[in-house]
């Protein structure tokens, strides 16, 4: 939250338009940006503060106001955040109403929120199903929408990779935050010549880190719980389905029991040998499940990477420049984020964040993401004494 506030302060001086050369003499042409008005913001449980900050700080420097509906699973963090920003506004003599919070279930504030024509822009973080529903409602009234939806993120590990780097990054991406990031690593696509070595290292690492599951407030813990019992059921469903389709559990696949796991929401991080065509592999499961898939050629690896409905984050580990550049080219990854020698998880705020296909197509945070929070206007000024039409059109009378 603090980082994006710092970023937005700098960005506020750079809401730049372009000056274009007019084809007509004694004319000047440029574009500029004006406040859009109101941003309707819907956030999910997993990053309840960060996503609010990415959107709200850019909306604020754009001159907009924000109406925030957080996940009904995380109302307390939203209330705490709202109290913090209220005190900041008060201390700086900014009127109330710039940042607004409504705590409500979707059954109370859902379709009616998205239908409101007074809100020209919505930013929605959630499942693909939620995004499609809200997108249809907002689109019907020709409103604008930013959507950050499902991710089914893959890491390609080449036989030309630095395996130490690849292992460290992939494990963090797969099990960090118990696999509950939209950018969590869900699939690992491994060149067949190093597949067994990578599999062996992953099993060994998973054995080691599974001893550090528990209360996330303990600084020695690496993996905390899933969000709720529904998330645990999704995890178990995926474990069962992948085995029905022919997948092999290499590690995990169980819910933890005992004194330290009374909530029933702690699960073992899970490794599964799978194939890309499995139905469950095509889905996003918000849990620490990592599917291992073999490939022969870089073309095949990129095809596997792209062969899912989602398109958020992707990565390749390779020291081969040709492989790296192909992965980043127009015939490479089709995701909104494509990395080389870093994992899928942990995007910096300075880049535009978002994805393609079922991920929704919107962008938040850095680069030129600020533009969608504003209304673009093209201006032409005639400082001469004659009216001349564009494209040399004559209309004499």
| pLDDT at residue 395, rounded to an integer | 87
Among residues 5, 23, 115, 182, which one is catalytic? 182
Among residues 5, 23, 115, 148, which one is catalytic? 148
| pLDDT at residue 358, rounded to an integer | 97
User: Is pLDDT above 90 for 33?
Assistant: yes
Q: Specify whether 303 is catalytic.
A: no
Q: What is the pLDDT of residues 166-182, one digit of tens each?
A: 999 999 999 999 999 99
**What is the overall mean pLDDT for the chain?**
97
| pLDDT at residue 346, rounded to an integer | 82
| pLDDT at residue 221, rounded to an integer | 97
| pLDDT at residue 232, rounded to an integer | 98
Q: Specify whether 148 is catalytic.
A: yes
Q: What is the pLDDT of residues 48-74, one digit of tens each?
A: 899 999 999 999 999 999 999 999 999
CA distance 213 to 94: 44
| pLDDT at residue 265, rounded to an integer | 98
Host H or E run for residue 88: helix 75-91
What pTM was estimated for this model as a whole?
0.95
Buried b (16+ CB within 10 A) or exposed e, 181-215: bbbbbbbbbbbeebbeebbebbeebbeeebeebbe
Query: What does the angle CA 363 – CA 368 – CA 370 come to, to the nearest 5 degrees?
Result: 75
Give the mean pLDDT of 235-260: 97
Give the mean pLDDT of 6-14: 97
| pLDDT at residue 251, rounded to an integer | 98
Q: What is the pLDDT of residues 88-128, one digit of tens each?
A: 999 999 998 999 999 999 999 999 999 999 999 999 999 99
User: Is pLDDT above 90 for 396?
Assistant: no
């Amino acid at each position: 939250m603090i980082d994006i506030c710092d970023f937005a302060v700098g960005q506020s001086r750079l809401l730049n338009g372009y000056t274009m050369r007019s084809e007509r003499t004694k004319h000047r042409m440029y574009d500029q940006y004006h406040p859009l008005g109101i941003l309707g913001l819907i956030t999910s449980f997993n990053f309840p503060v960060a996503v609010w900050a990415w959107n709200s700080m850019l909306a604020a420097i754009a001159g907009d106001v924000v109406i925030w509906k957080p996940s009904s699973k995380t109302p307390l963090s939203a209330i705490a955040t709202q109290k913090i920003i209220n005190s900041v506004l008060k201390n700086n003599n900014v009127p109330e109403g710039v940042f607004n919070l409504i705590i409500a279930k979707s059954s109370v504030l859902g379709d009616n929120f998205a239908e409101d024509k007074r809100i020209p822009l919505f930013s929605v973080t959630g499942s693909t199903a939620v995004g499609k529903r809200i997108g249809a409602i907002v689109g019907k009234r020709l409103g604008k929408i930013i959507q950050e939806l499902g991710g089914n993120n893959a890491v390609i590990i080449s036989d030309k990779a630095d395996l130490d780097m690849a292992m460290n990054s992939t494990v963090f991406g797969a099990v960090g935050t118990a696999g509950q990031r939209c950018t969590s690593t869900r699939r690992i696509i491994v060149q067949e010549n190093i597949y067994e070595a990578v599999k062996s290292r992953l099993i060994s690492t998973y054995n080691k880190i599974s001893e550090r599951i528990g209360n996330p407030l303990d600084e020695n813990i690496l993996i905390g719980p899933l969000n709720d019992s529904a998330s645990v059921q999704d995890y178990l469903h995926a474990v069962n389905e992948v085995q029905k389709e022919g997948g092999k559990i290499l590690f995990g696949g169980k819910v933890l029991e005992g004194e330290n796991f009374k909530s029933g929401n702690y699960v073992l991080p899970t490794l599964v040998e799978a194939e890309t065509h499995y139905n469950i592999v095509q889905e996003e499961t918000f849990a620490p499940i990592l599917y291992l898939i073999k490939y022969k050629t870089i073309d095949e690896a990129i095809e596997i990477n792209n062969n899912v409905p989602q398109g958020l984050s992707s990565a390749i580990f390779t020291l081969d420049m040709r492989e790296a550049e192909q992965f980043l080219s127009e015939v490479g990854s089709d995701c909104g984020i494509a990395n080389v020698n870093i994992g899928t998880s942990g995007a910096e705020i300075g880049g535009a964040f978002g994805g393609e296909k079922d991920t929704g197509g919107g962008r938040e945070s850095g680069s030129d993401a600020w533009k969608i929070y504003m209304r673009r206007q093209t201006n032409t000024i005639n400082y001469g004494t004659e009216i001349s039409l564009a494209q040399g059109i004559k209309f004499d009378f």
